[in-house]
Structure 1
Amino acid sequence: MLEQLKKYFDNFHEAVYIVDPDRKILYYNPIAEKISGFTKEEMENTHCYDNKLNHIDEDGKKLCLDGCPLQKSIRENVVTDNFVYLQHKKGHRIIVHVRAIPLIENGKVIGAIEVFTDQTKRSLLYENEKINAIIKYIDPLTGLLNRLFMKYELQTFLDKRELQEWGIIFLDLDNFKRTNDTYGHLIGDQVLASVSNTILNFLEEDDFAFRFGGDELIVMFSKAKKSTLIKKAKVLQVLIKATKIRDIDDENLTNTSMGLTVMKNGSNIMDMIDIADQAMYEAKQEGKNLIKYVEA
């Protein structure tokens, strides 16, 4: 059966892998390689609880170690559906829809098939900028928009939009100087790039993000009221903390302080960024790894 399934899934348009009852990975298809960054040689004959994909939910729970959909499907002979955040080989997080299906032969569960699809909603603004090759507005390290775009294009862009409210997050990596001093600037760059990729993968249509300077990043969410913005900030903080450089075991590597505010239609964007920046500074003063909301 397994060899027949391999031939079929090699040409499948979804990511697929197959495990035995002990969750040993027997097969890993080309789309799974593309989405995760891991090759079949790196994945096959390992176990999903080896935690290479390091699935978490939005609360940061490590599902491969506790609450694995594959394990539930095998034990209970049921199909499970979940949205989880997979960790790419490079370190950033990607939201995927996971369906685990029991694999049955002669009436006995002999393993499970996991099918996963990339559910990322890329920022249309970011993709259009990239497609149109406006390289001068893209920060080369992080892939985020840069200060040049903020200076020359952002206010005009906002003035032309019909969206009435923007949620602004001004965030800063709490331990970035320590990271550079301890691990070197090349690792610091990797951390910043991976965190930025996690942010980009979290964005939806009309959202966008900037590198303000150093490790200071700005994320703007369209149509975001206070409650929505705070919820998004909490999830994003969890995902950024769970963004790691593999082989570096440092729980505080990607802690963040965040300052939040909501920009009303007609407000000056730089004034709003200053308010969010001040809120972030207050979060740092109050102990770091915190979220602080200030009404504009």
Structure 2
Amino acid sequence: MNNYFELISDDLFDGIAVIDNNRRITHWNRSAEEITGYKSKQVLNKHCFTDMLEYIDEDGLKLCKDYCPLLATIKEGKKLEKSVYLRHKDGYRIPILLRMLPLRDEEKEIIGAVEIFRYDSGSKLDNTEEKDYSNIIERKKNLLKEEINKKVELVNEFGISAGIIVIEVINLFNIVANYSSILSNELLKAIANTLKNNLAFIDTSIHYTEGRFIILIDDIYQGDLEVIANKVEFLVNNTDIKLSSSQRIEAEISVISYLIKDDDNYDFIKDSLKI
């Protein structure tokens, strides 16, 4: 790879990865470092199908090994575009738009491929302004009560709908027992970042007990609430901080509640959330 190309690619906003016919990474630009958390020295000369980025699609298929779309680019010269979720170095999932282009030599022979990827805001159900989630782990029960009270007042005053989703990491205590509380905290931070990067439409996301996240959503249809809950469960279960091949996150939705005007659901919500 010549120096001129490297200089240009390092000034691009998109992540750029150059991969040879053996699927070995030969170039990794600065934006790729920023998006993934991996420095070029950590990925260069490594195969792209290792479990480093572990692309998955909406159906949960792990693309890098059994369903690698890059093979069609390298073997057949196909130009492809696909929305996937990559795993950041810190374990959380990021939605990206991935483009794959064949790389040819002067004889028009394919000598590899170029992956171009960017943060995919289109994969979010809404592109509202991203809020500050820096304290997502530290918010407590009192704030949760306050936020739910606000939602109920908003629903009753303006007649809009709202939704509440609760997801729990049901094997958190096993993770603590097998590893450490420090590692479990890293896991919870990774889940918080997964929510941050994939659910831009949410009004508030709060973690208030070990392994339990509550997501509050404004102005949503009941059918969409279930779609969002399924997406949350899928993404949290695919958050990974490299525990081990046998130890994975097990998370499930424990509460899905829909709020409408003059509904009596509030007491049920308080009982369900134990607040």
Question: How does the TM-score come out when normalised to structure 1?
Answer: 0.80
Pick one of 217, 220, 239 that aligns with 1:221.
217
Which residue matches 1:284? none
* Aligned counterparts, 1:1-296, within 5 A: 2-106=2-106, 107-120=108-121, 124=129, 126-127=131-132, 138-139=135-136, 142=137, 145-156=139-150, 159-160=153-154, 164-265=160-261, 267=263, 270-271=266-267, 273-274=269-270, 277=273
What is the distance in 2 between the residues matched to 1:233 and 1:152?
A: 22
What is the distance in 2 between the residues matched to 1:34 and 1:193?
A: 18
Which residue matches 1:291? none
State the identity %: 25
What is the distance in 2 between the residues matched to 1:276 and 1:59?
A: 30
Quote the offset at 1:225 in angstroms: 2.7
Quote the offset at 1:44 in angstroms: 0.7
Aligned partners of 2:20 and 2:113 also within 8 Å: yes
Aligned partners of 1:174 and 1:257 also within 8 Å: no
Aligned partners of 1:56 and 1:85 also within 8 Å: yes
Q: Which runs of 5+ in 2 are unaligned?
A: none
Which residue matches 1:286? none
Q: Deviations over 1:150-194 (max 9, x none)?
A: 234553366457572222211211111111122121111111111
Q: Deviations over 1:86-112 (max 9, x none)?
A: 100010001001011111122111111
Q: Deviations over 1:128-153 (max 9, x none)?
A: x76xxxxxxx34xx36x543432345
Comparing 26-35 and 100-109, the one that deviates more: 100-109
What is the distance in 1 between the residues matched to 2:246 and 2:152?
A: 39
What is the distance in 1 between the residues matched to 2:84 and 2:171?
A: 27
Distance 1:221 1:153, change over 3 A: closer
Quote the offset at 1:277 in angstroms: 4.5
Which residue matches 1:283? none
Q: Which runs of 5+ in 1 are unaligned?
A: 131-137, 279-296
Quote the offset at 1:2 in angstroms: 4.4
Q: Deviations over 1:54-108 (max 9, x none)?
A: 1101221101112223222112212111110010001000100101111112211
What is the distance in 2 between the residues matched to 1:163 and 1:76?
A: 55
**SS of aligned partner of 1:209:** strand
Aligned partners of 2:99 and 2:115 also within 8 Å: yes
Distance 1:104 1:222, change over 3 A: farther
Aligned partners of 1:14 and 1:117 also within 8 Å: yes
Quote the offset at 1:52 in angstroms: 0.7
Aligned partners of 1:163 and 1:223 also within 8 Å: no
Distance 1:158 1:39, change over 3 A: farther
**SS of aligned partner of 1:191:** helix
Comparing 51-60 and 197-206, the one that deviates more: 197-206
**SS of aligned partner of 2:131:** helix
**SS of aligned partner of 2:65:** coil
What is the distance in 1 between the residues matched to 2:36 and 2:68?
A: 17
Quote the offset at 1:234 in angstroms: 1.8
What is the distance in 1 between the residues matched to 2:50 and 2:16?
A: 18
Which residue matches 1:281? none
What is the distance in 2 between the residues matched to 1:6 and 1:77?
A: 23
